[in-house]
């Protein structure tokens, strides 16, 4: 689904170059749930933005479903969920979800049907006519996931979507997201700072080093954890073992001098 080869990206900042990514290679298979984890500034968002054609690599190749990122973007091959929900406050929940379909010129009746399907998927049936400010932060983030799914992309890119939420809400959304992933088998790339969240959700975890971002370890979670996951799995020895390996990877790459 996504094939990244020897990707390097240097930002040309005003006074000096910023080496954001260095020689990153990664293959993401259809139906994978990949988490990117690493210290702040290691290039996780940059990597997602390259896949989404929002940044241009300095060197290396990226293919999304066999297409260049630009072709994939024009074909709307992916949905993107940002850290903040980024909903329009003057549009209802339903009209936030239909927005990408309006832009694509989808007829009104179909827009409404699709929006309602996606809102049902994220457990928000009954909230179609509310405005974003009438919803909790967790519900708003579910609306942005529904919006990203509205045009049925094969790939879902999520940049720390639950980072600003309290622990219990986050647990709940993690559970909903893993159920959604199991039902739809969309390929997901998910950025997080939480080891527990990464282990709980992922088929594979990509541990990145501080800047310039490189891949330190790729950990297979699907081998030891079942695809169907409930929150109590976090107590299991397999879960703890994987979490330990992620932590070791992060510690190895961490410089306390920064
Ligand atoms: N447009 C830009 N111009 C210059 N430097 C940039 C630009 N965007 C990002 N950077 C720098 O590139 C590096 C990687 O940034 P990026 O946002 O990808 O990291 P991240 O791992 O997602 O960080 P965080 O976990 O804090 O969200 C950082 O040092 C950042 O300051």
- What is the pLDDT, as a whole number, of residue 6? 96
| Bridge partners, 8 (sequence order) | 59
174 and 236 together in one domain: yes
**If you average pLDDT over every residue of the chain, what do you get?**
91
Residue 198 lies in a domain: yes
What mean pLDDT is predicted for residues 143-152? 89
- Rounded to an integer, what distance in angstroms lies between the CA atom of residue 142 and that of residue 119? 8
Q: Classify residue 82: in a domain, yes or no.
A: no
pLDDT at 256 > cutoff 60: no
Query: Which residue, among 43, 147, 54, 39, has the nearest Cα to 93 in the 3D structure?
Result: 147
**Percent of the chain's residues with pLDDT above 70:** 98
Residue that finishes a domain, picked among 152, 179, 196: 152
Q: Quick check: is 166 in a domain? A: yes
Question: Domain range for residue 220?
Answer: 2-77+156-255
Same-domain check for residues 99 and 11: no
Q: In ligand 1, which atom is closest to the CA atom of 13?
A: 4
Q: Among 152, 178, 196, which residue terminates a domain?
A: 152
Mutational pocket test of ligand 1: of 11, 19, 195, the residue with most ligand atoms within 8 Å of the beta carbon: 11
> What's the token pair of residue 149?
């799914």
Please check whether residues 66 and 97 belong to one and the same domain.
Answer: no
**Residue 186 · residue 154 · CB < 8 Å:** yes
Q: What is the pLDDT of residue 129?
A: 96
In a shared domain, residues 17 and 141: no
Number of structural domains (the chain) is: 2
Cβ–ligand 1 distance for 11 under 6 Å, the answer yes
Q: What is the ipTM of this complex?
A: 0.96
Q: How far is the CA of 44 from the centre of ligand 1 (A)?
A: 8
- Expressed in angstroms and rounded, the spacing between residue 258 Cα and the centre of ligand 1 is 15
In a domain, 190, yes or no: yes
Q: Ligand 1 centre from 177 Cα, in Å?
A: 26
95 and 214 share one domain: no
Domain containing residue 245: CATH number: 3.40.50.300
């Amino acid at each position: 689904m996504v094939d990244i080869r020897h990707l390097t990206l240097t930002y040309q900042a005003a006074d000096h170059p910023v080496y954001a990514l260095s020689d990153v290679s990664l293959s993401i298979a259809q139906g994978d749930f990949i988490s990117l984890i690493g210290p702040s500034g290691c290039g996780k968002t940059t990597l997602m933005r390259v896949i989404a054609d929002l940044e241009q690599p300095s060197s290396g190749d990226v293919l999304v479903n066999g297409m260049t990122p630009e072709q994939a973007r024009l074909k709307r091959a992916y949905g993107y969920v940002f850290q903040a929900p980024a909903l329009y406050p003057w549009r209802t929940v339903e009209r936030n979800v239909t927005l990408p379909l309006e832009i694509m010129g989808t007829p009104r009746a179909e827009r409404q049907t699709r929006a309602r399907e996606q809102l049902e998927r994220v457990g928000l049936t009954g909230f179609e006519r509310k405005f974003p400010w009438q919803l909790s932060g967790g519900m708003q983030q579910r609306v942005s996931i529904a919006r990203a799914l509205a045009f049925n992309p094969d790939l879902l890119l999520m940049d720390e979507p639950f980072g600003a939420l309290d622990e219990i809400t986050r647990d709940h959304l993690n559970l909903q997201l893993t159920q959604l992933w199991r039902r739809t088998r969309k390929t997901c790339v998910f950025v997080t700072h939480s080891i527990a969240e990464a282990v709980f959700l992922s088929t594979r975890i990509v541990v990145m080093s501080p800047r310039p971002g490189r891949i330190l370890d790729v950990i297979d979670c699907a081998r030891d954890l079942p695809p169907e996951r409930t929150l109590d799995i976090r107590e299991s020895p397999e879960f703890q073992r994987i979490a330990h390996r992620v932590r070791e990877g992060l510690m190895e790459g961490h410089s306390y001098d920064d």
